[in-house]
Amino acid sequence: MADPIPAAGTPLPLPPKIPNGQEAYDIIMRDINPELTSANLKTLDAKYKDETPEQRIKRADRYAKDFEEFAKRSKAFKDKQDTTVSSYKRQLRTATEKRAGSGDATRMQNLEASFSTP
């Protein structure tokens, strides 16, 4: 990881936290149907072991709608992550350019000082 306060004095931005696939899925699905988050999926068989075939069909229909909503929200989530990464890239580039420029200014001042020193 980059030093957050480099020697040149220009702080580098901290990188954004980008969730992995499971984390992203859970973040999105938690608001739609917490029952379908990755941690809860393994409990569904036991939870619904006594449901009737009609109840199973209704649940499957609910889940289908939940996954349709997930598809919509996941696009928005990905777009937000892309924006976050692009913003980080711009901030990092600006900080890097400032660091490079400040080093040039210091070298120029040293050079100028050497001309004025007998």
Is 33 part of any domain? yes
Sorted by sequence, the CB contacts under 8 Å of residue 49 that are 6+ apart come out as none
Is 38 part of any domain? yes
> Which of helix, strand or coil describes residue 117?
coil
Residue 52's domain spans which residues?
A: 21-116
pLDDT in tens, 66-108: 999 999 999 999 999 999 988 888 888 888 777 776 666 666 6
Is 82 part of any domain? yes
Sorted by sequence, the CB contacts under 8 Å of residue 78 that are 6+ apart come out as none
Chain CA centroid to CA 89, Å: 13
Other Cβ atoms less than 10 A from the Cβ of 29: the count is 22
Please say whether the beta carbons of 38 and 22 come within 8 A.
Answer: yes
Number of domains, the chain: 1
Is 3 part of any domain? no
Model confidence, pTM: 0.67
Is 51 part of any domain? yes
Is 8 part of any domain? no
pLDDT in tens, 23-46: 999 999 999 999 999 999 999 999
